[in-house]
């Protein structure tokens, strides 16, 4: 890899970011490790990936490099976007999406699986059902581990793409009112995103049923970061002042008790009627999959940003991979 400059005929490099990055060789486990400088860097590289991908489709920053996509939990967007991102960077991917067909089903430990895969590849993307699994993997790994979701813990690359979506769509993040709606207890995307947004002086509106409120461990981090938030059960209290409405799915797979899930499933449904009370310039986001929280009839509203958010995810994951694999 020769840093971020593209060998193009024109004298103007398509990527003009510095070839060095503190991300080189680094694990991406939690947003808690990231400061404002790191975030500006990710946003800047991701924006350039967006421009370059639009112009030439793919580049060869990761030529000859291999990524392992190791998923112990279902995924469509995260695994496919890391796969596409690595290939658009000229690299290739080894995918283990069905761990039940791997030696995991024979009882192999996560540590042994990681040490095996890292023998073949340059970077490992890991999704696991246990909180802290990515950190456990990183403790034995010699190659960078990227946390693609650890149970109800964190989902740092989703938070980065969510941040990128907000900045690309609304031009800034500082001072916005961001409403997080739904399952704030088990939803790892909001655990990561709220911590990131706390660095930007965002006003957070946390809307959920009482049983699905943001965990105290996340609130403690928000407090330490000087964040400003309010807690609600009724979306109507905050919809008019919202700049970003971040809707989440109730995380059925995290409930021990099916009746408790049934009691809160379908608690919120965003419809075109809901948005009649929202600002004209605001966006609706969702990490997806949606299972009824946003009606398909909302999709035609220009404020529905969730499909664009999916596309931004490609550029952010290209940026993260290029930075982690980058040469100083
Ligand atoms: C989310 C996840 O896996 O945490 N999906 C995703 O990565 N885009 C959200 C969810 O599953 O509800």
156-310: same fold as 31-154+311-324? Answer: yes
188-197 helix and 216-224 helix, angle to the nearest 10 degrees: 10
The rounded mean pLDDT for the chain is 93
Whether 287 is in the pocket of ligand 1, judged by its Cβ within 6 Å, is yes
Q: Phi and psi (nearest 5°) for 152?
A: -90, 20
Neighbours of 54 (CB within 10 A): 9
Residue 18 has pLDDT above 80, yes or no: no
- Give the confidence band of 40 by pLDDT, cuts at 50, 70, 90: very high
- Across 306-318, average pLDDT: 98
Contact by Cβ (8 Å): 179, 208: no
Give me ligand 1 centre to Cα 218, in Å: 18
Residue ranges of domains in the chain: 31-154+311-324, 156-310
Give me ligand 1 centre to Cα 2, in Å: 34
Does residue 123 sit in helix, strand or coil? strand
The predicted pLDDT at position 105 comes to 80
Best mutation site among 73, 74, 78 for ligand 1, i.e. most ligand atoms within 8 A of its Cβ?
Answer: 78
Share of the chain above pLDDT 90, in %: 89
Structural element, H or E, at residue 52: helix 36-56
| Residues β-bridged to residue 127 | 71
Rounded Cα gap, residues 46 and 314, in angstroms: 9
Cα–Cα distances (Å) from 129 to 150, 161, 247, 254, in that order, read 6, 21, 22, 9
Residue 19 has pLDDT above 60, yes or no: no
Tell which CATH classification among 3.40.50.2000, 3.40.50.920, 3.40.50.1370, 3.30.500.10 matches the domain 31-154+311-324: 3.40.50.1370
Atom of ligand 1 nearest to the CA of 249: 12
Atom of ligand 1 nearest to the CA of 183: 12
For ligand 1, atom 1, name the residue with the nearest CA.
287
Rounded Cα gap, residues 283 and 295, in angstroms: 15
Residue 265 has pLDDT above 50, yes or no: yes
The predicted pLDDT at position 14 comes to 56
Give the pairing type, strands 123-128 and 145-150.
parallel
Closest CA to 41 of 53, 54, 26: 26
Give me ligand 1 centre to Cα 252, in Å: 12
Contact by Cβ (8 Å): 208, 233: yes
Whether 81 is in the pocket of ligand 1, judged by its Cβ within 6 Å, is no
Share of the chain above pLDDT 70, in %: 93
For ligand 1, atom 7, name the residue with the nearest CA.
78
Rounded Cα gap, residues 15 and 242, in angstroms: 34
CATH number of 156-310: 3.40.50.1370
Rounded Cα gap, residues 33 and 42, in angstroms: 13
């Amino acid at each position: 890899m020769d840093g971020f400059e593209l060998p193009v005929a024109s004298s103007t490099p398509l990527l003009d970011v510095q070839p060095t990055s503190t991300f080189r060789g680094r694990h991406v486990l939690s947003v808690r490790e990231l400061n404002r400088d790191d975030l500006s860097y990710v946003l800047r590289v991701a924006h350039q990936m967006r421009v370059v991908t639009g112009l030439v489709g793919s580049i060869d920053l990761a030529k000859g490099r291999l990524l392992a996509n190791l998923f112990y939990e279902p995924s469509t967007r995260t695994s496919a976007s890391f796969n596409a991102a690595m290939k658009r960077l000229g690299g290739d991917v080894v995918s283990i999406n069905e761990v039940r067909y791997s030696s995991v089903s024979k009882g192999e430990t996560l540590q042994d699986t990681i040490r095996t895969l890292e023998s073949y590849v340059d970077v490992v993307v890991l999704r696991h059902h246990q909180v802290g699994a990515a950190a456990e993997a990183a403790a034995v790994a010699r190659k960078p581990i990227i946390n693609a979701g650890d149970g109800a813990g964190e989902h740092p690359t989703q938070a980065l793409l969510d941040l990128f979506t907000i900045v690309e769509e609304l031009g800034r993040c500082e001072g916005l009112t961001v409403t997080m709606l739904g399952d704030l207890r088990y939803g790892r995307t909001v655990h990561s995103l709220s911590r990131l947004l706390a660095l930007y002086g965002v006003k957070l509106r946390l809307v959920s049923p009482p049983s699905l409120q943001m965990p105290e461990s996340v609130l403690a981090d928000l407090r330490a970061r000087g964040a400003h938030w309010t807690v609600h059960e009724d979306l109507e209290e905050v919809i008019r002042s919202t700049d970003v409405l971040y809707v989440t799915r109730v995380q059925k797979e995290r409930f021990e008790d099916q009746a408790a899930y049934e009691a809160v499933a379908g608690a919120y449904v965003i419809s075109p009627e809901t948005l009649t009370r929202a600002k004209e310039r605001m966006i609706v986001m969702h990490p997806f999959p949606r299972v009824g929280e946003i009606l398909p009839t909302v999709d035609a509203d220009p404020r529905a940003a969730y499909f664009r958010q999916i596309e931004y995810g490609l550029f952010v994951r290209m940026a993260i991979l290029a930075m982690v694999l980058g040469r100083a």
